[in-house]
Structure 1
């Protein structure tokens, strides 16, 4: 269950859809409960409607109150064995479903966020206090990273088990075949062009690297759309940078090829990340090195690769690190093998195995009590 819609490819939506598809493949009868959603290709139950807000640096939807009659009708039609709630949740939608669920229904949660600002922390803590009684229904709570687990403990006071997002790494095979000797080193950023994803900091570091010079020629692709596009394009023009491309939105079916062709993938998020799906995808696909912002959420994703984490705000060091990898093809090839092994930790079947175990345990406990 998700309080938001299922129309956008954001992290929580990807978690729900990827895990749901795998559980369906394994023979489970999976239903999706969401707020206002347009898609019609799922066994979907739309409860209530939502309005757009900005939260934790993201644009998302928050639900208006669901009627109790609507909730009762849903649970009468679909007597869930397990209700898997994405957290934090709205008391007026997911909260009402949790309260109305039959006593023998096992309630499981996944906590997704790490705060980007003090008011997100304060608001989530207040929500945890408000939901104290209802949280007792949860038999098991996952957190997508160690940072998210710590935040869940501070705000919701619930014990969690750290389990990353499921990612279908088979969709991101590494490139094969030799790279032409005269091809420039390809640096790639892929993500929303918003401040916390770090495209400004990346471009500042590239400007500094260009001034310092590298032995090898390079190109830079900043792929994605968002409010910073025109500002970034203006910086490229002002600095007279050549070989820099801002192609805009990249479709899901084209992401794998873009990442697989990258010699350096730079994802310098400045914070507010509870996990890094885009980081895992890059680790699986890139023929070269993946550099990521040193923020708490990415540390779980990049475990074992901590030397590739960097402070995006430290422009001079960021530029030196970029230049070092641009000029080290042997090092890029060697690290790519370790990166693929790191990405495999989050392959969907592995994550689904853990989720299934939690479902069975939670369901057995719920039925034993009722």
Structure 2
């Protein structure tokens, strides 16, 4: 039999004499926070700790966690999405809240962890249930929208006061918390994301034989700005530059209209755009590109994608805002541009092209600095230490 309150469990959560940490995460994909959950779990497993991970469904993350040595269970849980905060979403919010509360209570009772690691702020019940169960909780905050509604932000952060410790992925995230809930910020610690990369990424092209290959990696969402990449490519074509664009990512369910809009935009602009869809392995796409563009319109708590571009030895053009400044700033091969400005993106790409040989010589130096800042081994060790000391 599976654990009470759990659904879709392949096997029973077994008894184990080792110290146990229960990880909880709101999804099973392999985007930024998902990859960080995996790295965090690997860090604890390396210490000999038994790691049990609760997810709301199956997916690529589930398989990766099992391969790393974690036990994975699927449980009902309340995951705060914007749709739930509307009149139409209220019945689902109540239903998921009740189911999630019972499942969390029973799973903690069955696993009997020494600590509960709560990944992201959108699963608010877990710190509260852990507190009631007298189990230390650690909240790891991966979200920060300083420009968002202060009351909403405060409500999202409030449940995490029940945690014994809070980890954040950037100074921007810490200051966003401080602006709405100073008491939570005072007990928060910044741990920059650890970002894995190939040991020997392909060097950039020595000469820019046309066309220049522009890559975007991430959700196809208006907030992330892939339309700005297409618009910037159109500006470059108008200036006589030959370019192609690859969009590596997919839309959320219900946003299919946006992909159709992007396809129409590409046709109207006469820009060659490849819609590559989602791929868990991004490095081949980076190897086949010349420049990575991270044009987010909204506040980003950090920017793993920008770091991955630097680690891949590709020049990066990113929005000069929020956590992207910390992720992409300070590298000789990266450029920060004003937010929501396709012309600025085009100008930055053009400047990189005009100084290509000088820029490409600097990519090895930039990679070395990114390795120093974001070594996965250091991240795993810091996370393990923080969790085991809770």
**Per the shorter chain, which TM-score range?**
0.7 to 0.9
Q: Using the alignment, how far apart are the partners of 2:112 and 2:213 within structure 1? A: 52
- Give the one of 218, 221, 232 matched to 1:191: 218
**Secondary structure at 2:117 match in 1:** strand
Q: Using the alignment, how far apart are the partners of 2:303 and 2:388 within structure 1? A: 28
Asked which structure has the greater RCO (Cα within 8 Å, sep 6+), the reply is: 1
**Secondary structure at 2:176 match in 1:** helix
What corresponds to 1:292 in structure 2? 318
TM-score by length of 2: 0.77
What corresponds to 2:244 in structure 1? 219
Matches within 5 A, 1:255-274: 255-274=282-301
Cα 1:251/1:89, change in 2 over 3 Å: closer
Tell me if structure 1 keeps the 8 A contact 2:26–2:55.
yes
**Secondary structure at 2:323 match in 1:** helix
Cα 1:176/1:234, change in 2 over 3 Å: same
Deviation at 1:236, TM superposition (A): 2.3
Query: Where does structure 2 lack aligned partners over 5 or more consecutive residues?
Result: 1-22, 84-91
TM-score by length of 1: 0.81
Tell me if structure 1 keeps the 8 A contact 2:128–2:162.
no
1:30-69 superposed Cα distances (whole Å, 9 cap, x missing partner): 11123344647451233434578337xxxxx975234666
State yes or no: 1:77 paired with 2:110.
yes
Q: Using the alignment, how far apart are the partners of 1:90 and 1:278 within structure 2? A: 24
- Give the one of 353, 359, 370 matched to 2:381: 353
- Give the one of 251, 260, 276 matched to 1:248: 276
Query: Where does structure 1 lack aligned partners over 5 or more consecutive residues?
Result: 56-60, 363-370
- Give the one of 310, 313, 317 matched to 2:340: 313
Tell me if structure 1 keeps the 8 A contact 2:218–2:248.
yes
Cα 1:225/1:359, change in 2 over 3 Å: closer
1:228-254 superposed Cα distances (whole Å, 9 cap, x missing partner): 32222222222233xx2223314223x
**Secondary structure at 1:187 match in 2:** strand
**Secondary structure at 1:44 match in 2:** strand
- Give the one of 110, 135, 151 matched to 2:161: 135
1:50-92 superposed Cα distances (whole Å, 9 cap, x missing partner): 578337xxxxx9752346664443233322222222242444x
Q: Using the alignment, how far apart are the partners of 1:291 and 1:301 within structure 2? A: 11
